Chains A and B, each alone.
Chain A
């Protein structure tokens, strides 16, 4: 028994110092490598699901399903009024490609963090962080829905589809980020 444990420790010690582990799993990829991978996988997404990649739209459906599960109805809501949206809602959680993709992103990110042994539950440093996170989250969610897309659906997939709206979104986001950075320096420095 003891022998086995010893062997295990040695195995993980070996992995830790393995060149390929350090290069592919432990170290972050360069921005360029990550960008190329994102481009390839968004093409895969488009080919496999028939829709460009989007993230935040899925959360609106999750919200609708949760609301329906507790007895509410969104039939009369403008956002879900289209036959396509109704069909997606009726087909349910299990039949929704975007749902599975988002779940995949969450667990994939978790796995990557574990594999690089970078997992840590971080402490909340100040109440300001909580307030900023809640306000920021609400504004991002609201903004993404009235813009019919977030930085993935509207910006990344928009530009990839050669749509002008993606570039308009990029310009607006740039100025929004400038204002956001100023606020961040003002409240968090």
Chain B
């Protein structure tokens, strides 16, 4: 099981989403992708996409205006 951290701090929509989609595509099932974001709209569209795509998703607020979206690739 691999764990990959994707630094998207300072990056505006839709860059974090597209970067996460590209990253997930090259990962194996069971791997974990942690996307670091500080753009509040990514906090909405990232989990939404990942859940629709069928992955496990958790959002953690690490600081004021800073989140980690933790995605476990399930398929």
Q: Which residues of A contact B (CB under 8 A)?
A: 28, 113, 117-120, 122-125, 129, 181, 184-185, 188-189
Contact, CB under 8 Å: A189 / B15: yes
Q: Which residues of B contact A125 (CB under 8 A)?
A: 9-11
For residue B22, CB closer than 8 A to chain A, the reply is yes
- 22 CB contacts below 8 A, A to B, read A28-B40, A28-B44, A113-B65, A117-B64, A117-B65, A118-B64, A118-B65, A119-B64, A120-B38, A120-B63, A120-B66, A122-B9, A122-B10, A123-B9, A123-B10, A125-B11, A181-B14, A184-B15, A185-B18, A188-B11, A189-B15, A189-B19
Q: Which residues of B contact A184 (CB under 8 A)?
A: 14-15
A124–B15 CA distance with the chains assembled, in angstroms: 14
The 3 A-B pairs with the shortest beta carbon distances in the complex, nearest first, are A120-B65, A125-B10, A118-B65
Q: Which residues of B contact A (CB under 8 A)?
A: 9-11, 14-15, 18-19, 22, 38-40, 43-44, 63-66
CB distance from B23 to the nearest CB of A (A): 11
Kindly identify which residue among B19, B39, B43 contacts A28, using a CB–CB cutoff of 8 Å.
B43
Q: Which residues of A contact B64 (CB under 8 A)?
A: 117-120
CB distance from A3 to the nearest CB of B (A): 27
A188–B14 CA distance with the chains assembled, in angstroms: 10
Q: Which residues of B contact A118 (CB under 8 A)?
A: 40, 64-65
Kindly identify which residue among B10, B18, B63, B66 contacts A189, using a CB–CB cutoff of 8 Å.
B18
Which of A119, A120, A129, A184 has the most C-beta atoms of chain B within 10 angstroms of its own C-beta? A120
A117–B64 CA distance with the chains assembled, in angstroms: 6
CB distance from A115 to the nearest CB of B (A): 12
Q: Which residues of A contact B63 (CB under 8 A)?
A: 120
Additional A-B contacts beyond A28-B43, A129-B10 (15; CB < 8 A): A28-B44, A120-B64, A120-B66, A122-B9, A122-B10, A122-B39, A123-B9, A125-B10, A125-B11, A181-B14, A184-B14, A184-B15, A188-B11, A189-B18, A189-B22
